[in-house]
Amino acid sequence: MKHVIAVIVENKPGVLARVSSMFARRGFNIHSLTVGPTEDDTMSRMTVVVDGPEMEQIIKQLYKLVHTVKVTEFEPGTAIEREIMLVRVNADAKRRGEILDAARVWEARAVDVGVATITFEVTGPPERLADFLQLMNSYGIVSLAKSGRIALPRDQKSNKKQLKSA
């Protein structure tokens, strides 16, 4: 099972290496790992997607690392998750219009058009990118680059406690 874990860490050298090696030492395969700044420039947010069973022990181990501030495992449906992908597909002159029409349905943006290929940029939830890749497979994928997943918790749509007391 894939788990999505957000780790807020102090923005210090070596923190990424310590976090990733902690997963490796315990035999977990990291599916994707992204790191970037937060609203506080002294902190970074890591989003780790990892295959494995229960993550309770891993979360405890993450908290033991010196520069870890907060760890959150997102339950399915509780986070907004996005990736970005660049994919170059074969596009001979006869099929170019067909490929562009198919890509438009997925809101993929043509970012480079060559003599024999078109490169698309696609952003969205991981499932959407997988579906786009499946569609483009029939045309022939020449090359592919995909970011790791980023995630933020969903905002509450209503405050149930407020509604009950009103």
Sequence spans of domains, the chain:
2-74, 80-151
Would the pLDDT of 101 be above 60? Answer: yes
The mean predicted confidence, pLDDT, of the chain is 92
Q: Report the candidate in 84, 90, 79, 98 with the shortest Cα–Cα distance to residue 128.
A: 84
The per-residue pLDDT for 116 is 96
Contacting residues for 55 by C-beta, under 8 A, at least 6 apart: 3, 5, 73
Would the pLDDT of 23 be above 60? Answer: yes
Would the pLDDT of 105 be above 80? Answer: yes
The CATH architecture of the domain made up of 2-74 is 2-Layer Sandwich (3.30)
The per-residue pLDDT for 160 is 54
Q: What percentage of the chain exceeds 70 in pLDDT?
A: 95
Fold of 80-151: Alpha-Beta Plaits (3.30.70)
Domains 2-74 and 80-151 share a fold: yes
Would the pLDDT of 165 be above 60? Answer: no
pTM comes to 0.81
Give the pLDDT confidence of 32-75 residue by residue, as tens digits.
999 999 999 999 999 999 988 889 999 999 999 999 999 999 99
